[in-house]
Amino acid sequence: MANEELWRKRVADWRASGLSAAEYCKGQEFTTGPLYRWSSRLAETARGEAGSVLPMVRLVTATASVEAAPRTAQVIIEVQGARVLVPPGADVATVGVVLEALGVAGRSVAR
């Protein structure tokens, strides 16, 4: 396995584990330093690749009901076939977590 592929797997496994870097590295053949460096390097590469293609997020505002939702101002975020309905007063941090889980946090947004 090439070095980048190996680190891509390690970083993905770490992220999926929900552990801190220190906890994840216990008993491993690597420490937190390389894990953080590779995580950053891979994220930077992904951001560069994402910048060269069309944005993955389309932001749409709506006042009409959407799939039996109440008739109030709301935001609908469509991401790679998924639709996230954000009701008025939604917690911004929670929306951020959802976008991060969908892999689009930090990318540019088309309006």
Per-residue pLDDT tens for 62-102?
544 445 545 566 777 777 667 778 887 777 777 777 777 77
Strands 57-62 and 74-79: antiparallel
Average per-residue pLDDT for the chain? 75
Q: What is the pLDDT of residue 64?
A: 47
pTM: 0.45
Q: Which two tokens stand for residue 95?
A: 């929306």
Q: What is the pLDDT of residue 26?
A: 95
- Is the pLDDT at 104 greater than 80? The verdict is no
Q: What is the pLDDT of residue 57?
A: 54
Closest CA to 106 of 28, 49, 34, 68: 49
**What angle do helix axes 32-51 and 3-17 make, rounded to 10 degrees?**
100
Q: Distance between CA atoms of 109 and 50, rounded to whole angstroms? A: 11
- Is the pLDDT at 12 greater than 70? The verdict is yes
Q: Distance between CA atoms of 95 and 99, rounded to whole angstroms? A: 6
Q: Distance between CA atoms of 44 and 72, rounded to whole angstroms? A: 38
Q: What is the pLDDT of residue 9?
A: 93
Q: Could you state, in order of their start, the residue ranges of all structural domains in the chain?
A: 3-51, 57-110
Start-to-end Cα distance in the chain: 41
Q: What are phi and psi of 24, to 5 degrees?
A: -65, -35
* 58 confidence band (pLDDT: 50, 70, 90): low
- Is the pLDDT at 42 greater than 70? The verdict is yes
